C-alpha cells in the first residue's frame, strides 16, 4: 500500500512541474498566417532569430533582393521596396510572416523581373550618348543595335506608361505643415480636422490597411502600378481593406492623430520604393 502511494505521488509531481507553453515573440498581434484570411490591422512582430524560410539561393546585394536588418518587418520592407508585403511573403515561401531573420536575404522583385528592372536605365544612358548629331552613315550603322534590344525597348515603354499617372491631392483642403525631406520627413504633412476625408491620390490597389508600422499610426498603402506606391498615415478610421481596388478621389480613410502629436495626414509618394517629393507630382492649387 505504501509503495502504491509513493508511486502516485511521483506521477503527480511530474505533471504539476511541467513548464507552460509560452509565446515570447515581440509584438502584441501578429500578421495573419495561412490559416487566417482578410486584411491585417495588427502590428507585426520584430525580426525573429528563427526564420521560417531561408533564401540560400540568393546572395546579399544581388539585384531584386533585400537583406533583413534589426527592427524590420515585412510591411516596412514592402514599403521601402515598392511591393506588397503579401507578395514578398509569397515570393520567399514564408510560412510565418512574423518570423524573419536578421541577415536573411529576401526576394523583393517578382521572379524573372530583375533583368527588366536593370534594363530600364539603359535608355537614359543611350540618350545622353546620342545627344550630338550623327551622320547618316553612323545612324544606319547603329540601327541594327536598336532592333536587337526588344526587351530594353519594352522596359522603357513600361516605365513611361507607369509614369503617366494622373495625381490628385489626398485632402480636399489643408495647408502643408511640413515639407519633404529625404531623411527627416519622407513625405508631406497636411493639416485638417478630425474626421476629414482622406482621398486616394490615384487609381490603385490597397496593399496594406492597418497599424503595423511604428510611427505611422493607422496606415493605408496603395500600389498604383509597378513604379508607384502612396502611403496615408495617422488616420482616425480606415475605410478600405487589403486587395481592394480604389479609384482616384475615393474616400479611403478619415483624418486623425494616431501615433502623431496633432491631427494631420502624413502623405508619402514612393517611386520604386524610394521616397520622392509629392509636391512635385501633385497638381498646383
Using one digit for the tens of pLDDT, what is the confidence trace for 126-181?
333 334 444 444 444 444 444 444 544 555 555 677 788 999 999 999 899 999 99
Q: Which helix (H) or strand (E) holds 275?
A: strand 274-276
Q: Of 3.40.50.280, 2.70.70.10, 3.40.120.10, 3.40.630.30, which CATH number belongs to 176-280?
A: 2.70.70.10
CB-based contacts of 184, cutoff 8 Å, min separation 6:
none
Q: What pLDDT is stored for residue 285 in this prediction?
A: 85
Q: What pLDDT is stored for residue 182 in this prediction?
A: 86
Q: Which helix (H) or strand (E) holds 270?
A: strand 264-271
Q: What pLDDT is stored for residue 17 in this prediction?
A: 35
Neighbours of 144 (CB within 10 A): 8
CB 257 within 8 A of CB 236: yes
Q: What pLDDT is stored for residue 263 in this prediction?
A: 97
**Number of residues that this document lists for the chain:** 285
Name the residue with cell 494616431. Answer: 258
CB 229 within 8 A of CB 207: yes
Q: What pLDDT is stored for residue 37 in this prediction?
A: 39
CA distance 161 to 253: 28
CB 92 within 8 A of CB 64: no
Q: State which residues of the chain have pLDDT below 70.
A: 1-61, 113-159
Q: What ranges do the domains of the chain cover?
A: 33-111, 176-280
Q: What pLDDT is stored for residue 13 in this prediction?
A: 40
Q: What pLDDT is stored for residue 183 in this prediction?
A: 85
Identify the CA nearest to 239 among candidates 226, 223, 227, 222.
222
Domain formed by 33-111, architecture: Roll (3.10)
Q: Rounded to a whole number, what is the distance in angstroms from the first to the last CA of the chain? A: 93
Q: What pLDDT is stored for residue 32 in this prediction?
A: 58
Q: What pLDDT is stored for residue 149 in this prediction?
A: 47
Say if strands 264-271 and 274-276 run parallel, antiparallel, or are unpaired. antiparallel
Beta bridge partners of 265: 190
Q: What pLDDT is stored for residue 163 in this prediction?
A: 83
Neighbours of 90 (CB within 10 A): 12
The three grid cell numbers given for residue 195, joined into one nine-digit string: 474626421
The three grid cell numbers given for residue 129, joined into one nine-digit string: 550618348
Q: What pLDDT is stored for residue 47 in this prediction?
A: 56
Amino acid at each position: 500500500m505504501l509503495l502504491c502511494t509513493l508511486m502516485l505521488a511521483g506521477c503527480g509531481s511530474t505533471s504539476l512541474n511541467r513548464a507552460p507553453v509560452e509565446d515570447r515573440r515581440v509584438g502584441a498581434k501578429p500578421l495573419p498566417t495561412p490559416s487566417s484570411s482578410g486584411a491585417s490591422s495588427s502590428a507585426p512582430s520584430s525580426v525573429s532569430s528563427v526564420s521560417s524560410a531561408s533564401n540560400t539561393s540568393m546572395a546579399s546585394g544581388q539585384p531584386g533582393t533585400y537583406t533583413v536588418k534589426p527592427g524590420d518587418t515585412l510591411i516596412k520592407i514592402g514599403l521601402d521596396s515598392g511591393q506588397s508585403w503579401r507578395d514578398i511573403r509569397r515570393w520567399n515561401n514564408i510560412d510565418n510572416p512574423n518570423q524573419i531573420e536578421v541577415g536573411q536575404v529576401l526576394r523583393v522583385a517578382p521572379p524573372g523581373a530583375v533583368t527588366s528592372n536593370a534594363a530600364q536605365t539603359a535608355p537614359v544612358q543611350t540618350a545622353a550618348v546620342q545627344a550630338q548629331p550623327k551622320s547618316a552613315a553612323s545612324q544606319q550603322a547603329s540601327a541594327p543595335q536598336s532592333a536587337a534590344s526588344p526587351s530594353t525597348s519594352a522596359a522603357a515603354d513600361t516605365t513611361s506608361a507607369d509614369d503617366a499617372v494622373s495625381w490628385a491631392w489626398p485632402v480636399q483642403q489643408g495647408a502643408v505643415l511640413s515639407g519633404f525631406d529625404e531623411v527627416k520627413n519622407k513625405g508631406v504633412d497636411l493639416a485638417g480636422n478630425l474626421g476629414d476625408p482622406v482621398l486616394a491620390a490615384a487609381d490603385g490597389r490597397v496593399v496594406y490597411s492597418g497599424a503595423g508600422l511604428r510611427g505611422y499610426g493607422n496606415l493605408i498603402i496603395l500600389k498604383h502600378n509597378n513604379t508607384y506606391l502612396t502611403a496615408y498615415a495617422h488616420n482616425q478610421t480606415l475605410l478600405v481593406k487589403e486587395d481592394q481596388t480604389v479609384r482616384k478621389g475615393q474616400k479611403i480613410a478619415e483624418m486623425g492623430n494616431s501615433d502623431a502629436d496633432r491631427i494631420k495626414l502624413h502623405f508619402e509618394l514612393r517611386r520604386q520604393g524610394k521616397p520622392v517629393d509629392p509636391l512635385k507630382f501633385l497638381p498646383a492649387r
